[in-house]
Structure 1
Amino acid sequence: MRRRRGRAVLARGLWTAGELAVTLGVVVLLFCVHQLWWTNRQARADARHEVAVLERQWENEPAESAPTPGATPSRTSDSSDGTQGDGDRTPGGGDGDGSQSPRRDQAYAVLRIPRIGLTVPIAEGTSRAAVLNKGYVGHYPHTAQPGQAGNVALAGHRNTHGEPFRRLDEMRPGDTVRVDTADARYTYAVERTLPRTSPADGTVIAPVPYSSAHPRYRYTEPGYYLTLTTCTPEFTSRYRLVVWARLKTAEPRTAAGAG
């Protein structure tokens, strides 16, 4: 009788443990579905909607003349001691020509990268909740604005929440990166990629960008730069992937057209 009762208790214990394991497995599965599918679906829809909103606004607003690249920018300090990352604020740039910056978390431009089929809004700041997790690309505060002398530095998620920079590692020298604003379209050409560096390598978004961790990756002269940053390897935030480009053309919006 005791032996039979003991087996019954053991069976109930095993059944309960099995139920808990199945429940835990379902919870983990639902979390993975949410992170890998739902956040991407929702963020991409939000990003497409915001691009459409911006383009409608620009159609109904008079465009100002676009600045003409080519004037030699003044040399500025290229030191930076912040932490550069997917959602971190990193000092390291000037304020370009001193024009007024967009409000924090405001979407105000559109990034287009034909190589990876990307069209996504650019918002001011790199807040996870207010910018990056919406599927937007974030503009690092205190770096140059599009078309300005210095370094326009942008960050985006590599995985989940729209993952706009999922394929950033596929960028090659000569690839086109376009930034559309209310006034102009700026076209940058990719020049080099830093495949992996420390999140603390904040000088990659300095006005004259360079890697303090990998000294052979550096620029030495002032110019009109664009820096794209994201986490690497995929599904981790251990390192940063960096792509550098340089401004080639600036067209007024009326000449550039939409899309």
Structure 2
Amino acid sequence: MGRVRVVQHSGLRRRALRRRVLWGGGEVFVTVGVVLLLLVVHQMWWTNREARQGAAREVRALERAWDGAGGGSLADVPATTAEPAPSRGAGGSTDPSAGTRRRPAAETSPEPDWSRAYAILTVPRLHLRVPVAEGVGKTGVLNKGYVGHYPGTQQPGQAGNFALAGHRNTHGEPFRYINRLVREDTVQVETRSATYTYAVDRILSQTAAHDGGVIRPIPRSTVKPGHGYTEPGSYLTLTTCTPEYTSKYRLVVWGKLVSMRPR
């Protein structure tokens, strides 16, 4: 007679347990992978879609409001708390970079309306047209796809530094490609009463996130002192994070005011 095979139930239970553990682990990994994929899709696609649509609506709303108002004073431009630029009241009213053009009068207004945009930034080379709002907070400004104005810096057309920040990735990423700007590219800032045109003049490809010198009235890096300016003027500063998908450093683009056209 042949031998009768004896099956150990404990061995069967161990194999069944291993199969359940492996199967359960696989399900967990698949679930985690799907969740991570959805998070990436949300950050990389959905936030861009929502922010761009919202920013475009705000641009259209500003255009309609300005067209209906027929120009006039800049009552909607937030007041600035920046210290006066050294050139104010001392350098006359002629902008050196604009020939004999008269520099627009300094713009003052009541307390800013923190809930809405007040200007439009246009960068032809990048096919970019986005609203500008007061402040650089993520929730209230940057995550809406807007460009944010650094509180304490000057307003469009004023002597000093009109400094802006924008996301480079996600939430509309308006400043994703500002590294492609080159000298003499134009950047326009439209307000209720005028359009200010700046010409790109200098680019600082990387500096520390805490480099506050780049947004001073006379912008000059405190981390890389060879980059920036030493003379008063009417400047535009664009800042964003670099490298892409990180916030470790800052990329800075500077421009000078070259013209002002009333609406």
- Is 1:99 aligned to 2:114, yes or no? no
Question: 2:159 corresponds to which residue?
Answer: 149
* Contact 1:64–1:252 (8 Å) recurs in 2: no
Which one of 7, 16, 20 corresponds to residue 24 of structure 2? Answer: 16
**Residue type matched to 1:120 in 2?**
V
- Is 1:36 aligned to 2:35, yes or no? no
**Residue type matched to 2:55 in 1?**
A
For residues 229-253 of structure 1, the C-alpha deviation after alignment (integer angstroms, 9 at most, x for no partner) is 0000000000000000000000001
- Is 1:5 aligned to 2:20, yes or no? no
Question: 1:176 corresponds to which residue?
Answer: 186
| Runs of 5+ consecutive residues of structure 2 not aligned to the other structure | 1-8, 75-86, 91-104
| Runs of 5+ consecutive residues of structure 1 not aligned to the other structure | 67-71, 76-95, 254-259
Query: How many residues were matched structurally?
Result: 228
Which one of 202, 206, 224 corresponds to residue 212 of structure 2? Answer: 202
Question: 2:88 corresponds to which residue?
Answer: 73
Question: Whole-Å Cα distance in 1 between the matches of residues 139 and 119 of structure 2?
Answer: 19
Which one of 16, 41, 63 corresponds to residue 71 of structure 2? Answer: 63
Instruction: Indicate the SS of the match to 2:69.
Output: coil
Question: Whole-Å Cα distance in 1 between the matches of residues 73 and 119 of structure 2?
Answer: 16
* Contact 1:135–1:161 (8 Å) recurs in 2: yes
Give TM-score, length-normalised by structure 1: 0.85
For the pair shown, the structure with the greater C-alpha radius of gyration is 2
* Contact 1:151–1:205 (8 Å) recurs in 2: yes
**Residue type matched to 2:255 in 1?**
A
- Is 1:108 aligned to 2:118, yes or no? yes
Show structure 1 runs of 4+ deviating over 3 A.
none
Question: Whole-Å Cα distance in 2 between the matches of residues 52 and 32 of structure 1?
Answer: 30
Question: 2:83 corresponds to which residue?
Answer: none
Give TM-score, length-normalised by structure 2: 0.84
Question: Whole-Å Cα distance in 1 between the matches of residues 140 and 73 of structure 2?
Answer: 30
Taking only the aligned residue pairs, the percentage that are identical comes to: 56
Question: Whole-Å Cα distance in 1 between the matches of residues 191 and 54 of structure 2?
Answer: 19
- Is 1:211 aligned to 2:221, yes or no? yes
